[in-house]
Amino acid sequence: MADQQHLGILQQGRMVWNKWREQYPNITPNLSGADLSLAELSGVKLEEVDLRETDLFRADFSGADLSLANLSGANLDGADLRETILSRTILNKATLRLVTLSRANLSRANLSRAELFKANLNEANLNGAELWEVNFTEADLTKADLTGANYNGPRKLNTEEGRNKIYSRR
């Protein structure tokens, strides 16, 4: 359950939240289970924040720092995560259908059992990511860096018209 004080600070906007995070770096904010759908979170410092089971449907995170955040089971359908820092973030069992993750840094992130149906991962950094049982059906992985990623292997790789699409085993 989300800490109501933390949620109230976030609702005051990016400037207030980021200043609070700088003043209290030892606090691990808890926003788990909160409804942040359609929220404007671009540029918000969300590193190490507990966002488990949070509804983030169509939230705008472009350029935000979510490194080390726990987004396990979160709903991120339709979210804008372009150029977002998601390094070492826990995204297992998260739903990320139709998300934009172009140029996002997902290095060493745990995406096991995540749903990435029709996700845009163009130029995303998935270096060393955990990708076990991820549904990449119709995902765009053009120029994505999968160096050192751990995954169960694609059933089919389609490179027609310069677009890479992985269809996972399901």
Strand, coil or helix: 11 = helix
- SS3 sequence of 117-135: CCCECCCCECCCCEECCCE
Write out the two tokens for 138. 């119709």
CATH code for the domain of 3: 2.160.20.80
Provide mean pLDDT across the span 119-140: 95
Is a pLDDT exceeding 90 seen at residue 151?
no
- The amino acid at residue 34 is A
Is a pLDDT exceeding 50 seen at residue 167?
no
Provide the domain limits for residue 3.
1-170
Total tally of structural domains belonging to the chain: 1
What's the pLDDT at 153? Answer: 54
Tens-digit pLDDT profile for residues 1-48? 999 999 999 999 999 999 999 999 999 999 999 999 988 898 899 999
What's the pLDDT at 162? Answer: 39
Tens-digit pLDDT profile for residues 78-121? 999 999 999 999 999 999 999 999 999 999 999 999 999 999 99
Residue 112 contacts residue 136 (beta carbons within 8 Å): no
